[in-house]
Amino acid sequence: MKILKVGIAGYGVVGKRRKECIDRHPSAEVVGVCDQLFDGDGHLSKSIKHYKDYNSLLNEDLDVLIVCLPNNLAPIVTIAGLKKGLNVFCEKPPGRTVKDIEDVIAVEQKFPELKLKYGFNHRYHLSVKEAETIISSKKLGDIINMRGVYGKSQLITFNQPAWRTKREIAGGGVLLDQGIHMIDLMRLFGGDFLEVFSFVSNNHWGHDVEDNAYALMKTDKGVVAMLHSSATQWKHQFNLEINLQKGSIILGGILSGSKSYGEETLNIITADPDNDAGDPIEHKTRYNKDPSWDAELASFIKSILTDVPVRSGNSKDALECMKLVNKIYTSDLLWKDQFNIID
């Protein structure tokens, strides 16, 4: 059985977590990592080399490159990996702008034999997978609307690097960094949103990226979604309510490395408005494991080894998420003009 040789560009918190996932997979092994915090080149262990520069890592004999770098570097290194003939897994977001991901796709199309996947790991949480199954089954009918809140108490939490507050590096604030996960899930369940109204602000923390984004969005089928992405949510929160014709699905909490978003639960509500007087039957499931990181990388590795397309978290998903993020930014004309954001 072929063992894929993996390099990791960016060896911070996320890069180390991705290494742990690779270590648990029988068909892949990490052979090299790079990070600017290394003093120079050397060995992380007997079998793993470390480098200060990503170009040195790309000179290794690799099959796969995992990109865990700041937003300004992510598309550049993704493109470099593809041009080296490597399958690439890149963390979200794919870059700072829509053009960043469009540039990546232009290169990806030149190498159809390679696989490219983006790190939207929330898709692989057990609660989300179950919700997706129920929605696809049409057991509760079609979606009418969605309401989502994803918030944390600061732009920088849990010793994250300060580049997330700098527009020239990050490209955006809490919406692009964290809210993009909620956008991805809303797209996964509801389809593409064509109409967007928004308010975007940096009134509290005062950085040149947003600390709050509020959006009202509608698909061509009439599904309406309300989104609040916040860095002033003093008690961390993840909540997505999906109202359908015959009931509701509520995703509450999300298991994460920080353990700060509460229990991960899935509430299934069966509607009977003529008889339940607004107090319907609920079935609640609580999840105590987060297999999302392992499952996401396992899916990517399977795509490579079996030569099947990346169907979830592919470059089209990344592009559409970035387009929607940009619509939220530009539909607030004051925010758009303040930072000269291009439609």
281-310 pLDDT per residue, tens: 999 999 999 999 999 999 999 999 999 999
User: What pLDDT, on the 0 to 100 scale, is given for residue 160?
Assistant: 67
At residue 150, does pLDDT exceed 60? yes
Q: Tell me: do 272 and 135 sit in the same domain.
A: yes
Q: For residues 30 and 54, give the distance between their C-alpha atoms in angstroms, rounded to a whole number.
A: 15
pLDDT single digits (tens) 235-246: 999 999 999 999
User: What pLDDT, on the 0 to 100 scale, is given for residue 259?
Assistant: 83
Q: Tell me: do 86 and 106 sit in the same domain.
A: yes
Number of domains the chain is built from: 2
pLDDT single digits (tens) 91-136: 999 999 999 999 999 999 999 999 999 999 999 999 999 999 999 9
| Residue 26 CB contacts under 8 Å (≥ 6 apart), including other chains | 1
Nearest alpha carbon to residue 92 among 335, 312, 341, 328: 312
- The CATH number of whichever domain residue 70 belongs to comes to 3.40.50.720
Between 232 and 162, the more confident residue is 232
Q: Tell me: do 13 and 133 sit in the same domain.
A: no
Q: Tell me: do 142 and 260 sit in the same domain.
A: yes
Domain boundary among 98, 120, 142: 120
Q: Residue 50: inside a domain, yes or no?
A: yes
Q: Tell me: do 145 and 254 sit in the same domain.
A: yes
> Confidence class of residue 162 from pLDDT cuts 50, 70 and 90?
confident
Q: For residues 313 and 188, give the distance between their C-alpha atoms in angstroms, rounded to a whole number.
A: 10
> Confidence class of residue 139 from pLDDT cuts 50, 70 and 90?
very high
Q: Tell me: do 105 and 132 sit in the same domain.
A: no
Q: Tell me: do 79 and 197 sit in the same domain.
A: no
Taking the model in full, what pTM does it have?
A: 0.96
Supply the range of the domain harboring residue 136. 122-293+323-338
The torsion of the CA quartet 108, 114, 118, 123, rounded to 10 degrees, works out to: 130
Q: Tell me: do 61 and 108 sit in the same domain.
A: yes
User: What pLDDT, on the 0 to 100 scale, is given for residue 3?
Assistant: 97
Query: Residue 260 carries which DSSP code?
Result: -
Tabulate helix, strand, coil % of the chain (nearest 5).
Answer: 35, 30, 40
Q: For residues 212 and 228, give the distance between their C-alpha atoms in angstroms, rounded to a whole number.
A: 7
pLDDT single digits (tens) 323-341: 999 999 999 999 999 999 9
Range of lowest pLDDT (9-18, 37-46, 146-155, 156-165):
156-165
Buried b (16+ CB within 10 A) or exposed e, 73-96: bbbbbbbbbbebebbbbbbbbbbb
- The CATH number of whichever domain residue 136 belongs to comes to 3.30.360.10
Q: Residue 256: inside a domain, yes or no?
A: yes
User: What pLDDT, on the 0 to 100 scale, is given for residue 207?
Assistant: 93
pLDDT single digits (tens) 185-202: 999 999 999 999 999 999
Q: Tell me: do 159 and 86 sit in the same domain.
A: no
Q: Tell me: do 45 and 131 sit in the same domain.
A: no
User: What pLDDT, on the 0 to 100 scale, is given for residue 256?
Assistant: 87
Q: Tell me: do 84 and 139 sit in the same domain.
A: no
